[in-house]
A and B are shown apart, each in its own frame.
Chain A
Amino acid sequence: MISFMPSEEQSVMKETLAKLIQNTIRDNAHDMDEKHAIPQEFIAKFRELGIAQSPIPEEFGGFGLPASPVMSAIILEELAAGDMGYAVASTLPSLFIHPLLEFGNETQKANYLPPLASGECEATLAINEMHFKFDAACPKTHAEKKPGKYIISGEKCYVPMADSAKYFLVAAQCDGENCLFIVEKDMPGFAIGECEKNLGLNTLPTFKVHFDACEIPEGQRLCGAEGYDRTLQKTRIAMAALGTGVSRASFEYARNYAKDRVQFGEPIASRQAVAFMIAEMAYEVDAMRLMTWKAASALENGRDAKRESYLAKLYAGDMTMKITDYGVQILGGHGYIREHPVERYYRNGRSIACLEGLAIV
């Protein structure tokens, strides 16, 4: 039955993460952004909750609980409301785990799930490419089928935490079909480039990775077009959830600021010019969240979410920019100064429309 109300389990998760964000991430987000790093113990605090392990079958060291796209969306929004880079970094292995669970064969699962379940290594996803008219639906990186192996050539960018990852899920075309391949960092022809300098998401180290006729055994192919498409759907929903989170953070900060900031003898919030912007931020954040949940609900009910996920990300891409822009604007000159988080939200917010595949539900 249709419901707009979170279950107790969903509410508890949201509250738990809200506390984590309030007590650790929000207060340190500025420092983390300036230093371009998240203290390991902050990542550990989220990892301790065992969310990445939750859907992994018990035989591979997980808890064997069913994956819930809606719950994932709730988690990502909450984390991104603290810091978007933190949201990506702390949930990182799920980017690899979810597609593996869905499309991996038994050998692949037995090889890769246990080390990920135990947390002994990191794994990430490589989708984006640094060229004009990039389209996740037709990557230029390609794989050539040879007897017993694939040869991958191309270059990926914005690969989250590639420096610490051991396993990479790589989006490439093979004979005109979109595929995902599992590449290990020591496979020949694979190289990690330098840490990228980006507009935002400073807390998240991203890297270029190079495939110079990278040779991988044929058993490393995870899935073809169908799995690829479904993975894109899940990452699009996740991007929309991240957009909702960062937008909400900007909205909440600007709202509180507008109530405190006194000009001409009264709070600026008492002026309709400002108040109406805040109203618009409020309902657009809600609209973004509902579209995210709508797409996630389709997956959760075993339905294809191609249309819903596409529209949710498109909407979130536009609206995140608009809302985080309003956030800076409401603070005026102060919004332009890095001490207030709205300037960071503005920079981070641009990523929703520019990039793909930073998280997954």
Chain B
Amino acid sequence: MINLETPEYIKNLTSGINNLAKSVLRPISRKYDEEEHAYPKELDMFRGMQILGRPKKKKKDDEAKQDSGNGKPKKGINLSTVAVIEEMCWGDAGLLLSIPNAGLGNAAIAAVATDEQMERFGKMWAAMAITEPGAGSDSGSITTTAVLDGDEWVLNGEKIFVTCAERSDCVVVWATVDKKAGKAGIKSFVVEKGRPGFKLEHLEHKLGIRASDTGTFVLDNCRIPRDNILGSPEVKTGTEGFKGVMKTFDNTRPLVASMATGIARAAVDYMRDKIEESGTKLDYSKNPNNISSIEKEFYLMEAHLEAMRLLTWRAAWMADNEQFNNTEASMSKAKAGRYATLITQKACELLGPLGFTREELPEKWMRDSKIMDIFEGTGQIQHLIVARNVLEMSSKELK
């Protein structure tokens, strides 16, 4: 039965996290924006907190069966995760990305690692390296290579835009073992820091989320043990393997959408405080054309914020209930990424001088939010995915 009331357990969870965001993240938000690349040591208290990289306990077949199929909605991890992330990013999105041991690489390891690999890499902080200078959205065209030489893989290539580049202990690197095989030849490898030939070339200076260190790695005949490959080394015909990798984006896109929602909400809450401090009561009753421009814009911002959150929660809820959510995940990211950008821009516009000063946070949120429409698939890629799905057209029919 349709019921979109926020459950009590989510309310309790988010109010707890909101306290953390308020007391731990907000006070250092500006500091680490100004001190780009400095490690936010205050975040050590979160080490091991499972946010982006929750370990997935592998279920035995019979347990998995018992767990699904009673048809009732579940109290799932995806929904509570997006709710928590929204709160954390309400505090600071760059800092969320800097939480130790909670990198995207950790999520990748947790998803497919063997017990033995879990033993070796489970306690590490793992970054994720996919993008290359010549391969952004088109991640199927990466050129970093991995060649098996005896008991070692030899990796060569360049990886850019790696989050937690400096702070991480290891990096999950995407490389092709067989260029001719196309997407089917792409595998991921765990490369520990300190391996000869693995070099952090430089850290980027960014528009926003400056608390998060983003860097470029060069792999120059970098040798890693044969067992550092995640998943099977076998190159299967077809693109099933690659599709499996892309499928993990169905789970991570709502996470980014909730990050966007969190930043946008920070701006909306800031606006609300200012409007109310100025003596205007927001009462949600008057014809929106009979109120001040600021009030109407505020209501619109709030309405879009609700839309962002609901699309995100739906995608997460579907994942919790084992429904295929490829379209809905991209819908949430398309909407939230774009509108977080627009909402924070609008907030700065409406705030005037208060929206342009580094003494206040809105300008920072405007810079931070912009990445939400870019990473984990740009808004354009999300639109493409949604369009292909609703039009029932293949990637050949709709390029």
Q: For the complex, is B290 an interface residue (Cβ under 8 Å from A)?
A: yes
Which of B52-60, B147-155, B213-221, B300-308 makes up part of the contact surface?
A: B300-308
Q: Is the CB of B391 within 8 A of A278?
A: yes
Q: Is A7 an interface residue (CB 8 A)?
A: yes
Partner of A275, one of B10, B300, B384: B384
Instruction: Indicate if the CB atoms of A315 and B383 lie closer than 8 Å.
Output: no
Please determine whether A276 and B380 come into contact, CB atoms closer than 8 angstroms. yes
Find out whether the CB atom of A3 lies under 8 angstroms from the CB atom of B303.
Answer: no
Does B75 count as interface, using CB distance less than 8 angstroms? yes
User: Is B73 located at the chain interface by the 8 A CB criterion?
Assistant: yes
Residue A1 is within 8 A (CB to CB) of chain B in the complex: yes
User: What bracket does the count of chain A residues touching chain B fall in?
Assistant: 35 or more
Residues 280-315 of B, flagged 1 when their CB comes within 8 A of A and 0 if not, give: 000011111110000000011011101100110110
Contact indicator per residue, chain B 382-399, by CB within 8 Å of chain A (1) or not (0): 111011101101000111
B342 to chain A, nearest CB (A): 13
Contact of B5 among A133, A135, A259, A301 (CB under 8 A): A301
Q: CB < 8 Å: which of B1, B288, B310, B380 contacts A290?
A: B310
Q: Is the CB of A306 within 8 A of B284?
A: yes
**B286:A135 contact, CB within 8 angstroms:** yes
Set of chain A residues within 8 Å of B5, measured between Cβ atoms? 2, 297-298, 301, 303
Among A6, A267, A287, contact of B311 (Cβ-Cβ < 8 Å): A287
What CA separation (Å) do A291 and B2 show in the bound complex? Answer: 12
B399 A270 Cβ-Cβ under 8 A: yes
Once A70-B2, A290-B310 are accepted as A-B contacts, the answer to whether A282 and B73 lie under 8 Å apart by CB is no
Nearest A residue (CB) for B288: A314
**A43 at interface by CB-CB < 8 Å:** no
Q: Is A286 an interface residue (CB 8 A)?
A: yes
Neighbouring B residues of A311 by C-beta, 8 Å: 284, 299, 302-303, 306
Residues in A neighbouring B79, C-beta threshold 8 A: 2
Known: A133-B287, A137-B285, A229-B285. A283 touches B2 (CB 8 A): no
Give the residue name and chain of the B residue nearest to A71 (CB): B2
Interface flags, A272-300, vs B, CB<8A=1, else 0: 10011011101110111011011001101
Q: In the complex the two chains form, what is the Cα distance from A232 to B284 in whole Å?
A: 11
B residues within 8 A CB of A300?
Answer: 3
Contact B387 A4, beta carbon cutoff 8 Å: no
Chain B contact patch, size range: 35 or more
Pairwise interchain contact A4-B287, C-beta atoms closer than 8 A:
no
Pair B393/A270 contact, Cβ less than 8 Å: yes
Please give, as numbers and ranges, the residues of chain A lying within 8 Å of B73 by CB-CB distance: 1-3, 5
B141 at the interface (CB under 8 A from A): no
Which residues in A have their C-beta under 8 angstroms from that of B399? 270, 272
**Chain B residues within 8 Å of A138, by CB:** 286
Q: Which of A137-155 contact B (CB under 8 A)?
A: 137-138
Contacts of A196 in B (CB 8 A): none
Residues of chain B with a CB closer than 8 A to A280's CB: 334, 383
Interface string of A61-96 (1 = CB under 8 A from B): 000000000100010000000000000000000000
Find the residue from B5, B335, B387 having the highest chain A CB count within 10 A: B387
Whether a CB of chain B sits under 8 angstroms from the CB of A352 is no
A255 at the interface (CB under 8 A from B): yes
Chain A residues, CB < 8 A from B7: 1-2
B387 with A1: CB separation less than 8 A: no
Q: Helix, strand, loop or mixed for chain B's interface?
A: helix
A216-B52 Cα distance, complex, nearest whole Å: 65
Check if B2 sits within 8 Å of A269, measured CB to CB: no
At the interface, yes or no: B64 with Cβ under 8 Å from chain A?
A: no
Q: Do B1 and A3 touch across chains, with their CB atoms under 8 A apart?
A: yes
Say whether, besides A1-B73, A2-B7, A255-B391, A310 and B2 are in contact (CB < 8 Å).
no
Q: A193 to B83, alpha carbons, bound, how many Å? A: 53
In the complex, A314 Cα to B298 Cα: how many Å?
A: 11
A283 touches B331 (CB 8 A): yes
- B299 in contact with A275 (CB, 8 Å): no
Give A10 to B2 CA distance when docked, in angstroms.
8
Residue A318 lies at the interface, judged by CB distance under 8 Å to chain B: yes
Considering the complex, give the chain A residue whose CB is closest to the CB of B10.
Answer: A2
**Do A279 and B383 touch across chains, with their CB atoms under 8 A apart?**
yes
Instruction: Give bound CA distance, A329 to B46, whole Å.
Output: 51
Interfacial chain A residues near B380, Cβ < 8 Å: 272, 276
B3 x A70 contact (CB < 8 A) = yes
A279 and B311 within 8 A (CB)? no
Q: Are B391 and A4 in contact (CB under 8 A)?
A: no
User: How far is A279 from B302 in the complex, measured between Cα atoms in Å?
Assistant: 22
Q: Could you say which residues of chain A place their CB within 8 Å of the CB of B228?
A: none
B-side contacts of A291, CB under 8 Å: 303, 306-307, 310
Chain B residues closer than 8 Å to A276, beta-carbon distance: 380, 383-384, 387
- A294 B306 Cβ-Cβ under 8 A: yes
B4 in contact (CB, < 8 A): yes
Task: Looking at the assembled complex, report how far the CB atom of B295 sits from the nearest CB atom of chain A, in whole angstroms.
Answer: 11
Residues of A within 8 A of B4 (CB): 2, 4, 290, 293-294, 297
Taken together as a complex, chains A and B put the C-alpha atoms of A232 and B285 apart, in Å, by 9
Choose among B299, B317, B331, B391 the residue that contacts A258 (Cβ–Cβ < 8 A). Answer: B391
Cβ-defined contact, B290 with A133, below 8 A: yes
B323 to nearest A CB, angstroms? 8
Instruction: State whether the Cβ of A35 lies closer than 8 Å to any Cβ in chain B.
Output: no
Asked whether A6 lies within 8 Å of B391 as measured between CB atoms, the reply is no
Give the complex CA separation of A137 and B287 in angstroms. Answer: 7
If A283-B334, A287-B311, A300-B3 touch, whether A275 touches B304 (CB-CB below 8 Å) is: no
Neighbour of A6 across the interface among B1, B307, B313, B382, CB < 8 A:
B1
| Contact of A136 with B by CB under 8 A | yes
Residues of B within 8 A of A303 (CB): 5
Contact present for A310 and B285 (CB under 8 Å): yes
**Which chain A residue lies CB-closest to B385?**
A279
Minimal Cβ-Cβ distance residue in B for A295: B4
Q: Which single residue of chain B is at the shortest CB-CB distance from A1?
A: B73
B339: nearest chain-A partner, CB-CB: A287
Interface check B278, CB cutoff 8 A: no
Query: CA separation between A5 and B287, bound complex, in Å?
Result: 33
Are A318 and B398 in contact (CB-based, < 8 A)?
no
**Docked-complex contact A301 and B303, CB < 8 angstroms:** no
A137 touches B286 (CB 8 A): yes
Contact of B398 among A2, A10, A137, A275 (CB under 8 A): A275
Q: Does B66 contact A (CB under 8 A)?
A: no
Other than A5-B321, A70-B3, A137-B287, give 15 A-B pairs with Cβ distance below 8 A: A3-B3, A3-B317, A5-B1, A70-B2, A74-B2, A135-B287, A232-B285, A279-B386, A280-B334, A286-B314, A286-B331, A297-B2, A306-B284, A311-B299, A315-B303
Instruction: Give the top 3 A-B pairs by smallest Cβ distance, nearest first.
Output: A7-B1, A287-B307, A275-B387
A-B contact pairs, 25 of them (CB 8 A): A1-B73, A2-B73, A2-B79, A6-B1, A7-B1, A135-B286, A259-B391, A259-B393, A269-B391, A270-B393, A272-B380, A275-B384, A275-B388, A275-B393, A278-B391, A282-B327, A282-B386, A283-B335, A287-B311, A291-B310, A294-B4, A297-B2, A297-B3, A301-B3, A315-B307
